[in-house]
Amino acid sequence: MTLVIMLEPVQGAGGVQMPSTVYLAGVKQWCEANGLLLIFDEIQTGIGRLGTLFGYQHCGIELDIMSLAKSLGGGIPIGAVLAKAHAAIFEPGDHSSTFGGNALTCAAAHATLQCLLDHNILTHTQQMGTHLHHQLLHLQAAHPYIVDVRGLGLLMAIEFSAPLATDIVSACNEAGLLLNPVRPNAIRFMPPLTVTLKEIDEAINKLNAVLQELAPEAGTIG
């Protein structure tokens, strides 16, 4: 029996928690020293979300196995596991599934990857992620109860000094902005990889208006 360590390169649903590259390198070294396999859950961080094809590319380490889903199919349900040769235990025919290897879903995944690469979506994601990050920092400067801005690419979060997330998200929904309250004091931003500068600015303005209503004395963004 082989033991494994499995983690996300960026913890998504937990509030966009960012492990340091030093920590991840240490986990990799510890796995190698103790004969463990390292698995990354790339269901949220893979397929361009962080501005690279896979999230592990930000970490400076090599994986043994990764899992993919969701965005891989471009809206068509799919799941996949990628493994290096030394960690691959399945031979063709070892494992079967009613919908495994479905031709439609595999064609959708192929088309999704082709579009991502042919249209420079990764570069676009990096650029839009940088803009979103800067705009969120401006928002933080105007509203002191925003205590942290974190994330990579188009996976970002802001954290508040109080459990304001539910009220803020409800008000944003009313204003036409969909956000995700991942923690009582944090909200997550996961716009489509095709988001534009104009759409990011519109979202920030709507969020700022909501924050102004909650604490008018906090100021405005420039």
Q: Give residue 218's pLDDT band: very low, low, confident or very high (50, 70, 90).
A: very low
Identity at 215, one-letter amino acid code:
A
Q: For the segment 71-94, what is each residue's pLDDT rounded down to a tens digit? A: 999 999 999 999 999 999 888 777
| Confidence class for position 108, pLDDT limits 50, 70, 90 | very high
pLDDT at 131: 98
Q: What mean pLDDT comes out for the span 167-191?
A: 96
Q: Whole-angstrom distance between the N-terminal and C-terminal Cα of the chain?
A: 58
What mean pLDDT do residues 130-142 have?
97
Query: What gap in Å lies between CA 125 and CA 150, rounded to an integer?
Result: 16
User: What is the per-residue pLDDT for 216?
Assistant: 52
Give the integer Cα–Cα distance in Å for 54 and 120: 15
- CA 167/CA 87 separation, integer angstroms: 46
215 band by pLDDT with thresholds 50, 70 and 90? low
Q: How confident is the model at residue 217 (pLDDT cuts 50, 70, 90)?
A: very low
Q: Is the pLDDT of residue 158 over 60?
A: yes
| Dist. CA 84–CA 204, nearest whole Å | 42
CB 182 within 8 A of CB 157: yes
Domains annotated on the chain, with CATH: 4-118 (3.40.640.10), 121-218 (3.90.1150.10)
User: pLDDT tens digits for 119-130?
Assistant: 999 999 999 999
Higher per-residue pLDDT: 151 or 222: 151
Span 52-70, pLDDT tens digits: 999 999 999 999 999 999 9
Instruction: Indicate the average pLDDT of the chain.
Output: 93
Q: What is the pLDDT of residue 124?
A: 98
Full-model pTM:
0.91
> Can you read off the two tokens belonging to residue 46?
């893979």
Give 98's pLDDT tier (boundaries 50, 70, 90). Answer: confident
| Residue 109: per-residue pLDDT | 96
Q: Write the DSSP string, 143-194.
A: -TTEEEEEEETTEEEEEESSS-HHHHHHHHHHTT---EEEETTEEEE---TT
In this prediction, residue 222 carries a pLDDT of 45
Give pLDDT tens digits for 19-47.
Answer: 999 999 999 999 999 999 999 999 999 99
8-17, 84-93, 95-104, 209-218: range with lowest mean pLDDT: 209-218
